[in-house]
Structure 1
Amino acid sequence: MNSLGIDKAPADTRVVVAMSGGVDSSVAAAMLRREGYDVVGITLQLYDYGMTVGKKGACCAGQDIYDARRVADQIDIPHYVLDYESRFKQSVMDDFVDTYLKGETPIPCVRCNQTVKFKDLLDQARELGADCMATGHYARREMVDGRAAMLRGADHNRDQSYFLFATTQEQLDFLRFPLGDKPKTETRAIADALGLAVADKPDSQDICFVPTGGYAKVVEKLRPGAVRPGEIVHVDGTIMGRHDGVINYTVGQRKGLGIGGRKTEAGDDVDPLYVVRVDPVANQVVVGPRAALARDKVMVRELNWLGPNAVGVPMPVSVKLRSAQNPAAAVLVLHGGGNAIVELEAAQYGISPGQAAVFYDGERMLGGGWISGTGVR
């Protein structure tokens, strides 16, 4: 059994590595090549080359494809570029825009993993005769009770299991994460020691197809005329001001509302206002005090489940409702049709529909789904 858990010698084990042009996937490919595996690099062209040329920290753009090819040449592996631009637009960009227009906050990186990378690219890897596909994600894969399970990355500050919640069992069986047990500092050190061209390349920061974070311009470009001005309304019904389109607001937002705060009943202080709800039907942004954001019940749709079968049985879990937060204690009840209800032990603030709820049992990622609504028990 080799280091990837496959009953073959490394030289007889073909591994397709998804190479984005960044340091993580480059190191993953280089490590596997150094171990003697038959490594093939694949990079996806996901959108117009000219969209972010010269922009540091992007992914799957012109410069990144060039960087991936340079690394592949350095470590002497074959490298292919696949044009998935049409698939990416349909599966990721259109979904991104439609989610914002529904008053929700999307996570396009999850949709990309769910559709293009872990579906289409994985199928391509199989067509190339691969025994498995490796990525540079910071997550771990271990066998639990005879099945592949996904665990949080050993470095919790870099853990990316939240973004991989939609990975199916069949996909997880085929995937490998060579960096899951490493901190980012070690990855950088390996890249430097191997002299990889991307050793000092900055990490991706923005959504790859949204230069400088200006997602509203992307929405307006793909859905001309869909963004309309409207009212900003307090939870008590008072009209507080105007907005330039509901896509510019997300639940929990405090800054950039342009309406100031509101005086307390005593009249001597000003309470800050937060976005409590985005209503695309009424074309309103509803604001209120922080207390109005408190929610301890979360409804989930499109659940992908990797854990034990326990439909209808209350299950103690920890849950992440945003990628950067620590898991919080909760009770999960799975329902049919990919739906679930989460009851939080303590109320949280700013839970936004369209984001993901991802469930854990200790280090193990059990699955997750999209937040469809919130409530108060």
Structure 2
Amino acid sequence: MRKLCPNFDKEDGLETVLEVPIPEEMLASMGTNGFNRWQNLRTLMNAQFVDKTLLNNEFLVLLKLVGAPLLPIQISSEHTLTRPLKDCSIQDSTAKYIVQQYVAATGGVAALNSLESIYAMGRVRICSGSEIQEGEFEARGKPELGGFVLWQKNPDSWCLELVVSGYKVSAGCDGKIAWNSSSSQPFHANKAPARPLRRLFQGLDPRCTANLFLEAECVGEETINNEVCFMLKFQTEQQILQAQSTSNTEIVMHTIMGYFSQRTGLLVKFEDTKLVKMKAMKGKETVFWETTIESLIEDYRYIDGINIAHGGTTMAKLYRYGEGQNHKRMIEERWTIEEVDFNIVGLSMDCFLPPSDGEREQQDGAENAVGMG
């Protein structure tokens, strides 16, 4: 990963640290020589808004969907990661026992409760395409390469910068509101209380993952990549979904599934499905958008006593049906964590503030309903 930009103005000047490290292959595709490549990269990184006609809008929607989606609920990062088992149903008590094994497998209660902040940097390889038949993905065009940087600080504050080829997605939360911006949209604030970034639950933050599934129930077993796994299910309550619906959209359901290995106790698959109903105009047919995001999680390694996943594959599927215009789209992300660290000294809350020039008004529409929010 390239982390420094040469100083072209002063031959003996210090190099500039990139906000988002990028793969060498991505830089090589951005120009015919070194100077042009860095000029093109600077234009990309500084762009606040690009005319939509210059972009592949479908790819950008899918990139936002797989790159920086949110979970539907607030999750406390300060729980003790345990719950009493008395007065529970068998399904609930089984889920709490599975979570206890997961906590032990990722470092234990003391280690996870010591987390105050997280930093992660990684690379991504993304392909868009379609489903030719059940479970089979057909890519369209060449893979797009990129990198991301992620910061998190208790309680509930995080910031993500993702750059893929000619596209940029930014997202964050200051503990009060979650927001996002992209190459085609300068700023969007998500409705309802601040919510966590889904990417943190792909093996990066075991503490919040444990707190999420403490409220789940065990619904069976399934084999994932030759690992027999317990299936834990979390169903978002209707009043939460109603609070996140808008004047033009109704969130019908948002279900989260976790698959925990019976052998290791670790999370090996994280899946969530969301159904959004677009409120129909008079005389028009109702349109539905359904998204399913599945992440296979692997390559666990201990960092400072905490077992963190360093790679995996995420498949996001977007279905639209209604008004006789049914279609399915898919995007696949292969991600690798290059660096990760905890309890970052000097990490200020200023790092998590929304853009000062952002439009803080709520926006309705399919892209926001099925994508980031």
Check whether TM > 0.5. Answer: no
Higher Rg of the two aligned structures: 1
Whose strand proportion is higher, 1 or 2? Answer: 2
Whose helix proportion is higher, 1 or 2? Answer: 1
User: Could you say which structure has the greater relative contact order, defined with CA pairs below 8 angstroms and 6 or more residues apart?
Assistant: 2
TM interval, short-chain normalised: under 0.3
TM-score (normalised: structure 1): 0.25
